[in-house]
Amino acid sequence: MAKTGTTTQGLRSAIERSGYYPALVAEAVEAAVGGEPVSSYLVHQETTFDSNEIRRHVTVLVLTGTRFLVSHTDEQPADGTSASPYATTSTESVKLERIASVVLSRVVADPESYTPGTLPREVVLTIGWGAVSRIDLEPAACGDPNCEADHGYTGSTTADDLSLRVSEAGDGPETVRQALAFAQALSEATAAARPGAHR
């Protein structure tokens, strides 16, 4: 379930509608937002299956005039550290200038008959601000198939701080629309926040 909108009260209502520990999630998000007006938000609840356990988690993305905030809450079963189930909530606040990339991947059915405005089957929103990077390495080679020389390694680094997948089948078409709207608002805000951007 995902909800998007533009007001602090709307954000609170969306968290409550998600039904996922709303008091805990709202307190963490509201503390991170502080007194700043909310420009846009997205609340996404997801259920995953881990072996024979069902786990739920919620991610709340918030855009203000100066910051991007991400809050993630997971529930955990009783374990060696706790005799009862517990939840972990984390929030991170990122200045808009620090966001290096906003990647929106769209998956569409029947691309040969695609018409503009058709809703994608799923979207994946990936946001990078330099907190987490992934390095992919592979042996380097030259064009000679008989060459046995060591050419070292080649690779690439990818900023991969947050990746959120929303699908029409799993979350519904409105959730896909909401994810697209939030991605657009975040892209526009980060472009405006870059040094030298016209405001």
Burial class (CB in 10 A: 0-12, 13-18, 19+), 119: middle
* CA distance linking residue 43 with residue 59, whole number of Å: 6
pLDDT in tens, 38-93: 999 999 988 777 777 777 889 999 999 999 999 999 988 888 888 898 899 999 99
Q: What's the pTM value of the predicted model, to 2 decimals?
A: 0.79
CA distances from 90 to 66, 147, 162 (A): 20, 51, 13
* CA distance linking residue 43 with residue 1, whole number of Å: 7
> Which three-class secondary structure string do you get for 26-57?
HHHHHHHHCCCCEEEEEEEEEEEEECCEEEEE
pLDDT in tens, 123-167: 999 999 976 555 666 777 887 888 888 877 777 665 558 999 999
Residue with tokens 């963490």: 28
- The residue count for the chain: 199
